[in-house]
């Protein structure tokens, strides 16, 4: 067989491309090509020159009614080793008999060269029609660039396409956002995936092209990028670096590979002079977070720039709705109140994050920059109010991911947790993990939040989830290293020494249950003895480790947690718990004679006193005891803008004297006289407490989502159980909400129960309430279960867990 002629255009193109891909450090003239960008330029020049020659051979002239137009990578100057050619053969419609012949002369040599080709033949009206009907086609045509033939015809199409886009983009913005969200849902996030899709994922290359489209429509003030010619710094630098990664990914992995696999990472890192895959992962994560943040800002700006029909001028004036102390909603974003002083309020950062997570609203760019510029570091021990704000943020579950990412992007999260610098963007060392270590920690918190009602210390479950792998990346056993770091973190957060010890034990033993069920028989009594010894006989540690084992596995990757593992873990925890003595219920200390006299002077007595904690107050309410009184007291506090953090409920000689530790949702507490007036009105029926509380709960809730799409604050399923039959003690664990104590008390009292005493505690967004009860009549097993179900239903939030899903348990 004779050799193929060297003049064969397809063969020449094949050989030239193979030479560039096979030796990316040498160009077609054998001179060194220094980097991935130069390889892209060489490939782009090769294809463009070849297409000009092909157009000449096909008889296309500069004024002949035909033009070759590039879209996609060639148009943007981003030809990768195995990029397809995206081409449009444009014609003026006057030479229909030549169209097929010209197309064949262009397309067949490309196919013969074994190069992917996405081609179309259009007139200018055809192109406009396709762009109007197909969003993906419209976005591609926005990057169109003339290659050969009639340049005036190309310019006409490009100008008309962009003009049409500017006119229609505001109307098509919801479709554009939905299109992007579907892509994100399929490809995930680039920044935190261990094997990211650098092209299609959230924070990837397509997102910069999305910003380009918004900028062309004048919907954002963003920077329009154009391949390697983009200006340096910020978004441009992030885009070029990810493009370099994708270039080397093509060279190493071959055609059709957009996901960076772990087995290719080291070779790509070496090609980019980064050393190893861990350095590569940090670079990808950092640049993707830059792009992802720019997309958040760009989409918010675009939404704000899009006129909304049917709204009056008055409705378009943004209002400022209080969300927390120093934090308000304005124009659909979380911003600082006018009187907020970040330089004098270190806890403001976490209140902003918690407000964003609860409301489902983004934090405004100006607020983030102001916090970054002026918020001080918290020196020494954290104030308890600041720790509570952290727990409020963590307790929202998936909804906290976006606010924490925004804070971390501005350096604010690392300012709160310096240890985070060691795990930020750190890739996992085993393939089963799908997230970087920092994102795995946050995903574990998100998975732990729905489990907080399973444990008696939900705050320590959330903190344990946050730091359980904090020791990774430092060498040695990460559990032991992490436990030492957890002691430092717990002390800094202001935990009690016993709580610091427990947090360290959580980190030390966070793999205990998983390793035990993998190596031992969970039904063997010696296995229970072994686990009981490891946890030091602590039922609190045991139940936290059980919940953390599930959250950790769910946050690791698909298939790591299963029904089988859940069954084995539950049996192991139950068997071990049987060998550990339970905790007694502690009744509150009685009031002194002086205190009883002080709160018995008038029929209704209300006092407010500040505590030694910022934004925390102690409210004492006293009145003649009567059915429904606790529900009315708690309801008055709730609709008076006060969140109950702790409560002690006591009765003395037919008089209720109840003490509440409260925090205003924002601003200052109401005057003591107003609280007393409202309590009097609630007792007499002049104020409908339930109607006031229902109005508070009627606001809209944010939509759920994951992988970069804003998420919904989590609702842990309520658990109601009878603790000790002899004194009829009920324990309630549920996600906190305004008026919860009032709702639970109402159910108890409607069923003929009287509350002898109660202890109410809010820990990390979860309430753990204990009620000692007496009943008007005997309470059998059926009635006890019915009451527990009603209490569980009262704890459920709208859109959350249905009453029938509330967990109930009887006995201990």
Average the pLDDT over 17-27 and give the result: 65
| Beta-strand runs (E) in 684-798 | 719-724, 729-735, 753-763, 766-775
Instruction: Kindly state the percentage of the chain with pLDDT values over 70.
Output: 89
Task: Give all domains of the chain, ordered by start, each with its CATH number.
Answer: 9-168 (3.30.460.10), 188-304 (no CATH), 327-578 (1.10.3090), 595-809 (no CATH)
Helix locations, 417-496, DSSP H: 437-448, 458-467, 478-493
Pairing mode, if any, of strands 85-91 and 66-71?
antiparallel
Mean pLDDT, the chain, whole residue set: 84
pLDDT of 811: 37
Q: What is the DSSP letter of 189?
A: B
CA distances from 731 to 328, 644, 652, 662, 666 (A): 35, 17, 22, 21, 30
Q: Reply yes or no on whether the pLDDT at 585 is more than 60.
A: no
DSSP 35: S
Q: CA 271 from chain center: how many Å?
A: 33
Rounded Cα distance between 450 and 465, Å, is: 12
Work out the average pLDDT over 667-688: 91
8 A C-beta contact, residue 423 and residue 473: yes
465-480, pLDDT tens digit by residue? 999 999 998 888 999 9
Q: Where are the alpha helices (DSSP H) in 509-591?
A: 512-519, 525-534, 539-554, 563-578
Asked if 90 and 159 touch (Cβ cutoff 8 Å), the reply is no
C-alpha span between 167 and 102 (Å, rounded): 34
**The dihedral formed by the CA atoms of 661, 451, 396 and 785, expressed in degrees to the nearest 10:** -60
Per-residue pLDDT, 803:
31
Nearest-angstrom CA–CA distance, 473 and 471: 7
Tell me the pLDDT band of 225, cut-offs 50, 70 and 90.
Answer: very low
Residue 314 — pLDDT band, cuts 50, 70, 90? very low
Pinpoint the alpha helices (H) of 599-739.
629-639, 672-684, 689-696
More confident residue, 313 or 568: 568
* pLDDT surpasses 70 at 232: no
DSSP structure class, residue 641? T
Report the distance separating Cα 599 and Cα 623, nearest Å: 8
pLDDT, one tens digit per residue, over 705-744 is: 444 344 566 678 898 888 755 557 888 998 888 888 888 9
- 551: pLDDT strictly greater than 90: yes
Q: Is the pLDDT of residue 486 over 90?
A: yes
CA 317 to chain centre: 30
Beta strands, E only, 84-144: 85-91, 117-122
The pTM of this model reads 0.78
Position 552 scores a pLDDT of: 95
pLDDT of res. 586:
60
Average pLDDT rounded to a whole number, residues 34-63: 86
Q: What pLDDT is recorded for position 582?
A: 53
Residues 6+ apart with CB under 8 A from 176: 135, 169, 210, 213, 214
Q: What's residue 712's pLDDT?
A: 61
Average pLDDT over residues 559-572: 89
Q: What is the pLDDT of residue 726?
A: 54
Is residue 713 within 8 A of residue 401, CB to CB? The reply is: no
- Residue-wise pLDDT for 596-614, tens only, equals 888 887 889 999 999 887 7
112-126, 236-250, 409-423, 568-582: segment of lowest average pLDDT:
568-582
């Amino acid at each position: 067989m004779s050799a193929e002629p060297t003049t064969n255009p397809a063969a020449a193109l094949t050989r030239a491309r193979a030479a560039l891909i096979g030796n990316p450090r040498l160009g077609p003239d054998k001179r060194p090509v220094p980097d991935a960008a130069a390889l892209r330029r060489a490939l782009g020049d090769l294809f463009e020159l070849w297409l000009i020659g092909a157009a000449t051979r096909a008889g296309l002239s500069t004024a002949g009614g035909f033009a070759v137009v590039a879209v996609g990578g060639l148009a943007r100057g981003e030809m990768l080793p195995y990029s397809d050619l995206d081409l449009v053969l444009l014609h003026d419609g006057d030479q229909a008999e030549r169209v097929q012949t010209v197309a064949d002369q262009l397309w067949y040599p490309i196919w013969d060269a074994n190069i992917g080709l996405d081609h179309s033949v259009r007139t200018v009206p055809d192109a406009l029609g396709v762009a109007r009907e197909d969003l993906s086609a419209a976005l591609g045509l926005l990057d169109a660039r003339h290659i050969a033939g009639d340049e005036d015809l190309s310019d006409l199409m490009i100008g008309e396409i962009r003009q049409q886009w500017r006119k229609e983009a505001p109307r098509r913005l919801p479709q554009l956002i939905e299109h992007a969200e579907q892509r994100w849902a399929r490809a995930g996030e680039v920044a935190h995936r261990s094997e990211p899709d650098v092209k299609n994922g959230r924070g990837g290359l397509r997102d910069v092209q999305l910003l380009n489209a918004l900028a062309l429509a004048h919907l954002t003030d963003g920077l329009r990028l154009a391949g390697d010619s983009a200006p340096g710094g910020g978004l441009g630098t992030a885009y070029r670096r990810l493009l370099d990664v994708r270039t080397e990914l093509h060279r190493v992995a071959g055609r059709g590979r957009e996901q960076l696999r772990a087995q290719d990472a080291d070779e790509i890192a070496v090609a980019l002079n980064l050393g190893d895959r861990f350095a590569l992962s940090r670079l990808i994560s950092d640049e993707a977070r830059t792009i992802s943040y720019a997309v958040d800002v760009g989409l918010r700006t675009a939404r704000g720039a899009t006129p909304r029909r049917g709204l009056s001028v008055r409705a378009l004036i943004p209002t400022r709705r209080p969300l927390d102390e120093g934090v308000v909603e304005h124009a659909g974003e979380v911003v600082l109140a006018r009187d907020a002083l970040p330089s004098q309020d270190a806890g403001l950062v976490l209140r902003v994050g918690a407000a964003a997570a609860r409301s489902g609203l983004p934090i405004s760019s100006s607020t983030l920059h102001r916090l970054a510029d002026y918020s001080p570091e918290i020196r020494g021990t954290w104030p308890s109010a600041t720790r509570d704000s952290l727990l409020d943020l963590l307790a929202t579950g998936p909804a906290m991911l976006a606010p924490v990412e925004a804070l971390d992007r501005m350096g604010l999260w690392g300012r709160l947790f310096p240890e985070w610098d060691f795990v930020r963007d750190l890739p996992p060392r085993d393939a089963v993990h799908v997230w970087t270590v920092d994102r795995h920690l946050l995903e574990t918190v998100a998975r732990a939040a729905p489990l907080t009602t399973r444990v008696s210390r939900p705050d320590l479950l959330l903190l344990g989830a946050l730091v359980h792998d904090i020791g990774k990346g430092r060498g040695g056993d990460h559990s032991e290293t992490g436990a030492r770091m957890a002691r430092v973190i717990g002390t800094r957060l202001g935990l009690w020494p016993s709580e610091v010890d427990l947090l360290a034990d959580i980190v030390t033993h966070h793999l205990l249950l998983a390793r035990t069920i993998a190596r031992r028989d969970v039904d063997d009594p010696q296995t229970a003895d072994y686990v009981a010894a490891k946890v030091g006989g602590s039922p609190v540690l045991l139940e936290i480790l059980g919940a953390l084992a599930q959250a950790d596995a769910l946050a690791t990757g698909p298939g790591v947690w299963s029904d089988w593992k859940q069954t084995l873990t539950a049996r192991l925890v139950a068997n071990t718990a049987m060998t550990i003595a339970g905790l007694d219920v502690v009744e509150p200390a009685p009031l002194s004679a002086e205190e009883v006299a002080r709160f018995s002077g008038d029929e209704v007595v209300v006092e407010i006193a500040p505590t030694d904690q910022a934004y925390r107050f102690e409210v004492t309410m006293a009145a003649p005891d009567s059915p429904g009184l606790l529900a009315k007291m708690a309801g008055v506090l709730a609709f008076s803008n006060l969140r109950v953090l702790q409560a002690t409920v006591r009765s003395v000689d037919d008089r209720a004297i109840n003490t509440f530790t409260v925090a205003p949702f924002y601003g200052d507490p109401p005057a003591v006289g107003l609280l007393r007036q409202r309590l009097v009105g609630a007792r007499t029926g002049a104020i409908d407490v339930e109607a006031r509380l229902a109005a508070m709960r009627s606001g809209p809730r944010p939509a759920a989502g994951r992988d970069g799409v804003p998420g919904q604050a989590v609702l842990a399923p309520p658990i109601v159980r009878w603790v000790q039959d002899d004194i009829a003690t009920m324990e309630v664990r549920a996600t906190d909400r305004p008026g919860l104590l009032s709702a639970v008390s109402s159910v108890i009292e409607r069923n003929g129960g009287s509350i002898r005493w109660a202890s109410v505690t809010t820990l990390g967004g979860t309430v753990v309430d204990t009620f000692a009860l007496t009943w008007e009549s005997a309470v059998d097993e059926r009635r006890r279960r019915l009451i527990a179900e009603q209490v569980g239903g009262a704890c459920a939030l709208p859109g959350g867990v249905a009453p029938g899903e509330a967990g109930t348990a009887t006995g201990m």
